[in-house]
Amino acid sequence: MVDDFATNGFKTIGIDYLNSDPVPADALGPGGNFDLQTWSTAHGPVQTRPPLDKVITALKEEGVTTLAAVGYCFGGRYVFDLAFDNVIKVAAVAHPSLLQVPEDIEVC
């Protein structure tokens, strides 16, 4: 998706907010031996939000004034958080995870 946005003229940054530790592609399939709970514990807001903030700060220092974010599943939570914190002007998500309903929806 990042490449497609860039091809269509948008300045696009793909942030490694998983700190080089993504869920393996075959982890959730049949016979997978992956502990999602342990992985999730190591990928909470304390670990995940700082890389986003670092890149956003650098973009603002370069003169970028308007930001948009797209998040899918796990990343959707962080797009919501950036929108709630008024960091971004545009938010788009698909099947966001980790939201608390109705609490997060009522913030809007």
Q: Looking at 34-38, 47-51, 88-92, which range is the least confident one?
A: 34-38
Residue from 26, 21, 55 nearest 41 by CA: 21
Of residues 58 and 26, which shows the higher confidence score? 58
**How do residues 62-75 score in pLDDT, each as one tens digit?**
999 999 999 999 99
Q: pLDDT class for 106, splitting at 50, 70, 90?
A: confident
Task: Please give the backbone phi and psi of residue 88, each rounded to the nearest 5 degrees, phi first.
Answer: -115, 155
Which residues are registered as beta bridge partners of 72? 94
Q: How far from each other are the two terminal CA atoms of the chain, in whole angstroms?
A: 27
Output the six-digit token pair for 99: 């939201």
The span from the CA of 105 to the CA of 80, in Å, is: 10
Q: What is the pLDDT of residue 36?
A: 85
Q: What is the mean pLDDT of residues 77-105?
A: 92
Residue from 51, 105, 44 nearest 80 by CA: 105
Output the pTM of the full model: 0.85
Q: What is the mean pLDDT of residues 65-92?
A: 95
Is pLDDT above 80 for 31? no
